[in-house]
Amino acid sequence: PQEFSVLGLPVHLMTNYPSWLLECLQQGRGTHVVTLNAEMTMQAERNPSLAEVIQNADLVIPDGAGVVLYLHYLLRQEVKRCPGIELAEKLLQELGEQKTATNVFFYGGASGVAATAAEFWQQQLPNLSIAGTHSGYHSPEEEEILQQTLTQLQPQVIFVGLGVPRQELWIAKNRHLCEQAIWIGVGGSFDIWAG
């Protein structure tokens, strides 16, 4: 992907993000996806750990209108906005249509929200393989169980909806558990999918 800098943070531009991610999956290339918006760039300015995690992410997509506008003026060319929730939905759809099953995992949200979101997607996409779900509020002991679960299941796509910056920092800390997986921070997407 073409990489550009927005306030010291990388943004990658390409025409088709889902197909790039499917390639990563095929090649077993572990990937951390960050969906960048203006609020996040401001948080990164105050939070060096978040800035570092974004700088080390494999794919940073322009999620917010402000980031798109900035790039538009910088590059003097059309830049397409790619909201994170839309990328997540497209990826799920593609996975649900593939012949070989890809295991996905939903982590985050209040009790039961990720499970309800998973049910919603399972109904939409009967061939989608949801390996498991976990709520985003729990004790440190439960976090250990979650880490063991991920290590055992080795899901190939892990959606993490803990909000910014919690989800980005959590992914950076835990992505070694499933080295070949795609890890993507999805904010409040589970709430929306759960209805």
Provide the binding-site residues for ligand UDP, judged by CB under 6 A. Answer: 108-110, 136-137, 161-164, 166, 187-188, 190-191
Q: By C-beta, is 70 or 159 nearer to ligand UDP?
A: 159
Residue of closest CB approach to ligand UDP: 136
Q: Which residues neighbour 72 within 8 Å (Cβ) at sequence distance 6 or greater? A: 78, 79
Upper half-sphere CA count for residue 80 (Cβ side, 13 Å) = 9
When the beta carbons of 124 and 137 are compared against ligand UDP, the nearer one is 137
Of 32 and 102, which has the nearer Cβ to ligand UDP? 32
Rounded least distance, CB 42 to ligand UDP, Å: 12
Sign of CA dihedral 117, 123, 124, 126: positive
Using CA atoms, how far apart are residues 73 and 55, in angstroms rounded to an integer?
Answer: 22
CB of 118 to ligand UDP, least distance (A): 14
Q: How far is the CB of 165 from ligand UDP (least distance, A)?
A: 8
* Tokens found for residue 83: 């909201």
Supply the minimum distance, in Å, between the C-beta of residue 37 and ligand UDP: 8
Q: Of 60, 140, 134, whose CA–CA distance to 104 is shortest?
A: 134
Nearer to ligand UDP, 97 or 142 (CB): 142
What is the enclosing helix (H) or strand (E) of 159?
A: strand 157-161
